[in-house]
């Protein structure tokens, strides 16, 4: 009866909204997920692990996958390719996993339009721009210019929240975690994931 395919969970939200922290809570609670990571031809930096931070491949491998139409999207930046390979995503969907994307609003549109899968999407924000700025400043890790750029992007991104299914306003970590865990828990029981035939036949 459980003839269902894998499902997709998309998270978007400005840098500083707390996405990574919330995702850690989700991973404690759910099984059978695959977190989508990018593929790149640039060399690993110190501490970066293949299959964790990126899939590190050669330029030749990357270009063959471009030719075989194996990328959801890709870009050439300063001589290095970066892209989202469809191979691990399709493998995870075949294994009925929940495929999780942490992507921006353009990526959200791309996944919705290009992947023939059932998607649940979540937009995560801070309660206000002021709170976001304060969080970014208190991290003390980024240049003023980087922060200004992030704030500018955040203002542009938040305009698109209504293209998503759910909105999490992360002003309380416990509450926001509970909401995200709940969303992840039910992403795989959308009715559209079940074929009508498989359900109805067990009812004859």
Burial class (CB in 10 A: 0-12, 13-18, 19+), 43: exposed
Distance CA 137, CA 76 (A): 31
Tokens, residue 106: 């353009």
Residue 20 known to bind ligand: yes
Q: What is the DSSP letter of 23?
A: H
Name which position in 1, 66, 77, 173 contacts a copy of itself (CB under 8 A).
1
Q: Enumerate residues 120-149 that contact a copy of itself by CB under 8 A.
A: 123, 125, 127-129
Number of residues that bind a copy of itself (CB under 8 A): 39
Closest CA to 122 of 103, 96, 147, 106: 103
| Contact between 169 and a copy of itself per CB under 8 A | yes
| Contact between 170 and a copy of itself per CB under 8 A | no
Burial class (CB in 10 A: 0-12, 13-18, 19+), 168: buried
Query: Which positions from 20 to 59 touch a copy of itself by CB under 8 A, shown as an x/- string?
Result: ----------------------------------------
| Contact between 105 and a copy of itself per CB under 8 A | no
**CB-CB contact of 186 with 179 (8 Å):** no
**CB-CB contact of 33 with 99 (8 Å):** yes
Burial class (CB in 10 A: 0-12, 13-18, 19+), 157: buried
| Contact between 152 and a copy of itself per CB under 8 A | no
Residue positions counted in the chain? 204
Residue 17 known to bind ligand: yes
Query: Which positions from 63 to 102 touch a copy of itself by CB under 8 A, shown as an x/- string?
Result: ----------------------------------------
Residue 16 known to bind ligand: yes
Q: Closest CB to a copy of itself among 89 and 168?
A: 168
Tokens, residue 14: 């400005």
Q: Closest CB to a copy of itself among 138 and 203?
A: 203
- Chain centre to alpha carbon of residue 42: 21
Q: Which residues are annotated as a binding site?
A: 13-20
Q: Which residues are annotated as a binding site for ATP?
A: 13-20
Residues in touch with a copy of itself (CB under 8 A): 1-2, 123, 125, 127-129, 154-155, 158-159, 161-169, 178-179, 181-183, 185-186, 189-194, 196, 199-200, 202-204
């Amino acid at each position: 009866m459980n003839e269902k395919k894998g499902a997709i969970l998309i998270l978007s939200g400005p840098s500083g909204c707390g996405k990574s922290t919330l995702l850690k809570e989700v991973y404690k609670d759910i099984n059978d997920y695959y977190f989508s990571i990018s593929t790149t031809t640039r060399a690993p930096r110190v501490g970066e692990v293949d299959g964790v931070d990126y899939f590190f491949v050669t330029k030749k491998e990357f270009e063959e996958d471009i030719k075989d139409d194996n990328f959801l999207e890709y870009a050439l930046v300063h001589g290095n390719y970066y892209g989202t390979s469809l191979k691990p995503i399709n493998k995870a969907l075949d294994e009925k996993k929940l495929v999780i994307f942490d992507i921006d609003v353009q990526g959200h549109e791309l996944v919705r339009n290009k992947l023939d899968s059932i998607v649940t999407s979540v937009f995560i924000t801070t309660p206000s721009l002021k709170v976001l700025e304060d969080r970014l400043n208190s991290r003390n890790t980024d240049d003023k210019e980087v922060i200004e750029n992030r704030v500018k992007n955040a203002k542009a991104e938040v305009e698109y929240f209504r293209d998503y299914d759910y909105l999490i306003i992360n002003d309380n970590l416990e509450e926001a975690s509970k909401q995200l865990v709940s969303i992840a828990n039910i992403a795989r029981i959308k009715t559209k994931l079940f074929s009508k035939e498989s359900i109805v036949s067990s009812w004859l």
